[in-house]
Amino acid sequence: MGLRHENFKMVGKLGVIALAMFGFGYALVPVYKAICEVTGINILSLTEQQIPGVSARLPANTQVDTSRTITVEFDVNVSGPWRFQPAVRSLEVHPGELATVMYEFQNVQNRTMAAQAIPSYAPKQAAAFFNKLECFCFSQYTLAPGEKKSWPVAFVIDPRLSKDVKTITLSYTFFEVGGKVPSAPADVALTDKKAGAV
| pLDDT for position 62 | 56
Half-sphere exposure of 22 (CA within 13 A, CB side): 6
pLDDT greater than 60 at residue 181:
no
- Over residues 109-135, the pLDDT tens digits come to 888 888 888 889 999 988 999 999 888
Between CA 128 and CA 136 the distance in angstroms is: 18
User: Assign residue 188 a region: left if phi > 0, alpha if psi is -120 to 50, beta otherwise?
Assistant: alpha
For residue 95, the SS3 value is coil
| pLDDT for position 102 | 92
| pLDDT for position 130 | 92
pLDDT greater than 80 at residue 173:
yes
For residue 68, the SS3 value is coil
Between CA 180 and CA 17 the distance in angstroms is: 65
- Over residues 68-80, the pLDDT tens digits come to 999 999 998 877 7
pLDDT greater than 50 at residue 183:
no
| pLDDT for position 169 | 93
Q: What is the mean pLDDT of the chain?
A: 77
